[in-house]
Every structure is written in C-alpha cells, then in structure tokens.
Structure 1
Amino acid sequence: MSSWDRAFHAYGPARGGDELLDVLQRGGEDTYLKDHPGAVWQPYTFLWTALHCGGRITPATVLGLRHLVSAVTADDFGGSDPTLRVAAVWWIRDVIRSALTGNDLDSARLIAARRNDPAVHEWLDEFLRQERSIFDWDAGDAPGQVLIAAARVDCFDFLPECFAPLSTLLAPSQPEELRAAAASATALLVAHPSLRRYHDEITAYHAEQACQGSPRYRESMVLGLGELGVTPTKWLSDAELGVRVSAALAPGLVGDETAAEVLRLAYLHPAALDGLSLHQLPSINQAVAEALGERSAEWGP
C-alpha cells in the first residue's frame, strides 16, 4: 500500500492529500483557504475533482477511501457543518460503485502483479517529480497503467472493511440525510462476494425505511430497493410522485404496465418533479426519459 507522497491522483502527485482530508474532517475549509490563498485544491472539491475524477480510481483514491471510512463515523466530522459528513459518505458510495463496476477484475489482478517491477518504480519516481495529469499520458506511461490496475484491485479488496463502519450510520439516532447516504452505500456493498450474506439484512432495512420519513428520504430508499434487485411494486401507488417514479425506475419493473404509466406521467409533466434531486439520481427527469427510451420496446407505443 502506497503513502500519500508515493501516490498520484487524476491531476498528478497526491502529496498533501491527507492534510486536505484532515481539513475537511475538521470543517476548517474557510480557515484553510485564508491561510493558503494560492492553494491548488480546496478540501471539498479535492474529493471528486482529483481523488475520484469522472469515476476514475487511482492510487490516491484508495488512500482517500481508507482515510474517510475510518474518519466519517465520528459525530464531529465536518465540525459545525453536518453536510460535509453526508458528502463524505456519498463520495465513499461513489467509489464503491466504481470499484464494483469497473473493468474485468481478473485482468486487473494480472496487470497489478507487476506493480513491484523496477521499471514501474522508476516510472513512478520520475512521474512524481512532475505536475502532470494522467490525461496527458501516452505510450511511455504504460507503467502508470499498472499502478492504476493495482489501485482498482486494492480498492475492491478493501470494500469489505467499509461495511461495518457504514452500517453504524444506519442507526435511527443518525440524521435522515446521513442514513440515506449510508444506506445507498451499503446497498452497493452487499454485491461484493464477501458481503453477500448481508443482502437480506440491508434489503429489509430499505423496505422498512421506505415507509417512513420525508418523501426525499423514502425516494432514496426505494431507489435502493431497485438496486438490491427488489421489485418495489408496493410503492407504485404511493401518494408522492417522486416515490412512485423511484419505484417505477427499478429494473425489476421493466414491462410493468403501472410502472410504465407512472413514467409516462412524469415525462409528460416534468415540472411536477422540480426540486426532486437525489445524489444517486441527480436528474430525475433525464432518468425518466432514458427509462422510457430503453423500455419502449417492451411497452409498445
């Protein structure tokens, strides 16, 4: 496992990344920016812009994941700004998704086996002397791809260690927004071979929570049920349109006439969904349009 001074992210060397995450954890971004007026990165934007740029997993992504999973369970994470803790869990959730849905893992393991080759170490030494983005790589940067593959493997292999900490955030004493983020993350985690035994437990949690709380919270839980492979027919008749749409988007309801009607209604009246935005569904209107396009063959005109 590399250290921050031996790792890189999407835009170059990752040295100092741990300091930025510590600032985020303390909720001290305003003070940091005043003290570092020429800073290249802001602690918050560093997460998605550098550590997980466009869903890319780099060696620094793994370090960030390890750092935040161990830190985010603290009640004082983010200082006086509780939204930072929620955002950190959503970031963890996004990394989990990338680790589970990336390229063939067996091939990545074969490539990653070369991570200790002298040529790879020599390339890394040279790369860390520069401020060069991975987007500028060419054929001469093949050793870097070995380290990218190793990061994917390390990230995937670390996922089982994320389950216990994130599960503590599902407790009823936690704020609704935090529970929604943690529930979405655990719904993805149970697809990992080492965590499949928790599938029924997390599914039961989502089903229970989908019946209580704010409409936004219930929408998130119903979306999670769909990701967990449940057919959430019960919620197609919910009083809240957003909840009904979240249910209709479930893969298990492809071809269902009631789900089709819910999506058609939402598509014809997009203003009715104004303001309904979830992290795992940033544009519900776009999701509805895409679902209709993909499923039109099953439903007919």
Structure 2
Amino acid sequence: MVDHIDVEWSGLFHAEGLASDTPRYLAALLGDDAKAFANGYAHLWSTTLRREGRAWPATAPTAMLVAELLDHPLLGPDDPSLPDAMLAYLYAVGIAADLGDQAEEIRARVEEHAPELRSWTDDYLSADGDGRSRMWQDGTGLGVLILDQAALACFDLVPTLLRRTLPHLASQRARHRMCAAAAVGSLARHPSVLTQRPALLEQLRSMAEATESAYDLATILVAIGHLGGDTRHWLTDPHAGVRGCAALAFGLAGDNTADQALLELVRSPRAFGESFGDMAPPLQFQFNPYQDLLTFGLLQRDGGGETPAPGAPV
C-alpha cells in the first residue's frame, strides 16, 4: 500500500477540502478497479495540485506517495505510461517548489506566524464550502501564507524526490528516460544540488547526443536549459521544435541565433506545436501554454533570466 508515510492527512487540505482521502485515491492506482483507478488518477492531477500547477498543503506528502508509486511493481505493469505520469507529477512539483532565494524569507514568515497558520487551517478544515471561500478573502493574508508554506514544504522535499528520480534516467525505455530528464530538470534547480549539477548536465548532454528522436531531444534540451546548461550546439538543428527548446536556455541570453529562434516561434507558436507532428509538445510545455513560455523566454533576456515566471518551467 501507499498510505504508511507518517503524515497527519486530516490536518491537510487540497482543492476539495480535507486531504484524508488522498492515500485511498492513490492506492487505487495499484488496483484493477477501472472506475476507482480513473478517480484516483483524476484526484492526483486535479485535486492535489492547484489549477496553475502550484502547491496545496497536501501536495508535498502526495509527492512522497507518488515517488513510492513510481517504483511500485503494481503500477501499470501493462501500461508503461503510468510510471511516466508519476515522473511528470514530480516534474510539476519541482516547478511548484522552485522558490529560488525566496525560500528562507518564506520560512521566516511561516515560523513567525506558525500559531496563526495552524488556527487558520483548523478553521478552514471545519468550515463548509461557503465558509472556506470567505476565508480566502478574510483580509488577514494567512491563506496566502498557507500556500507559501505548502510551496516551502515541497522545496524541502525536493532533494529526496530527486534521489528517487535519478535512477530512472537509466531506464531501458526511451520515453521513460525523457520523463525522468524533465523531472530532473526541475528538481535539480534546488540550491542543495548546486555541486551535483555539472555531473547531471553532463549526463543529460550525453542523453541528448544519443537520441535520434527530435521530440526526446527537445525534452532533454529544456531540462538542460533549466539547469543553466549550454544548448548552443542545437540552435542550428533542422527541426524547429529542437531549435526553439535549445534557444530557451537562459545561458544563451544575448546570443543572436538563440534570440532569433525564440522570436520566430513567438511570431508563429503554431509552427512550434506542428513541428512535433501528431505528438503533443514536450512534457514541460504541457504544464504552461508554450506560447507564454516562449514569450517569457524572450522577454527575460534583458533580465538575465534570474526570476522564473509564475508556474513556468524556466
């Protein structure tokens, strides 16, 4: 089962209220009840993450359950896309946890207001739907700080999630390796991984050079760009999607070829999507409209790319 993690779920909430139902929903992903499975999968994606991909208080412990599901033999034995989906979830959590240098400021504010936050949460969990809606507008700002606290919990969990994700870069299945690369690209932005990052970039670069799939290559290049790697080599690739993903790397700020590639795709975002044929754009672009991501990548050139767009994998 997946419910043995020492978490007081009844003291947490997600999009629909009390989070004590989350372990049960996720456990259904290991069963053969089709309806329960569908409900569990929907719960994971639509309930434990906020609509814009940010964290609820239940998100961090859910991510730990997902990390366990990722390696569970009963998860999708006949459907390899399910482990891929768990990696995609960890990618999303990495984005929600990307607090940069704001983490310690948030931690200080959370610790300063800890009693009020606990009281606000208790009141929220005992309120009805209308009462909860009113609490977000109560003028105290505690609800916003609760959500900051949730992001901080994800931030603190990232090193553990990264350790659970790294072995999947060596998967025998190419698509699984690509999902792992995307997850590593968001999780390894954590400051604790700074010294480990050069080795990870070398591993991702080796993967990029070995793949023959433009789709997989584009996915890896976004991950390399997330981590400050150099994707200059692929700016002249014949595939428009690959060029665009290579150009997103902030390390290429000021590079005329990279800026021109972004500008072309901003002018015609449809060309970017169509460059991948019948496939959706790479995983990272499925969490934020890729038009916005490309536009942001171009606009950030002037600012050096230090501040990530809200919810955007950059």
- The two structures have a TM-score, normalised by structure 2, of 0.78
Q: Which amino acid aligns with 1:251?
A: F
CA distance in 2, matches of 1:56, 1:182: 20
CA distance in 2, matches of 1:89, 1:226: 19
Q: Which amino acid aligns with 2:274?
A: D
Note if contact 2:69-2:86 (Cα within 8 Å) is conserved in structure 1: no
Note if contact 1:236-1:259 (Cα within 8 Å) is conserved in structure 2: yes
How many residue pairs end up in the alignment? 288
**Residue of structure 1 in register with 2:19 after alignment:** 14
Per-residue deviation, residues 137-184 of structure 1 (Å, max 9, x unmatched): 2327765555434333322111111122101111142x2222112112
Cα distance, 1:79–1:114 mapped onto 2, change above 3 Å: farther
Given candidates 281, 287, 290, the residue that maps to 2:285 is 281
**Residue of structure 2 in register with 1:61 after alignment:** 59
- 2:191 alignment partner, SS class: coil
Given candidates 107, 115, 135, the residue that maps to 2:105 is 107
Cα distance, 1:102–1:60 mapped onto 2, change above 3 Å: farther
Per-residue deviation, residues 63-104 of structure 1 (Å, max 9, x unmatched): 101111122123542343222221121111111111113793
1:153 aligns with 2:158: no
Kindly state the Cα deviation for residue 20 of structure 1 after the two structures are TM-superposed: 0.7
CA distance in 2, matches of 1:61, 1:81: 25
Per-residue deviation, residues 237-256 of structure 1 (Å, max 9, x unmatched): 22322212211222222332
CA distance in 2, matches of 1:204, 1:13: 43
What is the aligned-residue identity percentage?
Answer: 26
CA distance in 1, matches of 2:13, 2:275: 37
Q: CA RMSD in A?
A: 3.2
**Residue of structure 1 in register with 2:311 after alignment:** none
The answer for unaligned runs of 5 or more in structure 2 is: 1-5, 303-314
CA distance in 2, matches of 1:281, 1:139: 35
CA distance in 2, matches of 1:43, 1:79: 17
Mapping for residues 44-193 of structure 1, pairs under 5 Å: 44-53=41-50, 54-101=52-99, 104-113=102-111, 117=115, 120-132=117-129, 136=134, 137-139=136-138, 144-145=143-144, 147-173=146-172, 175-193=173-191
- 2:129 alignment partner, SS class: coil
Q: Which amino acid aligns with 1:274?
A: E
**Residue of structure 1 in register with 2:236 after alignment:** 237
- 1:281 alignment partner, SS class: helix
Kindly state the Cα deviation for residue 2 of structure 1 after the two structures are TM-superposed: 4.3
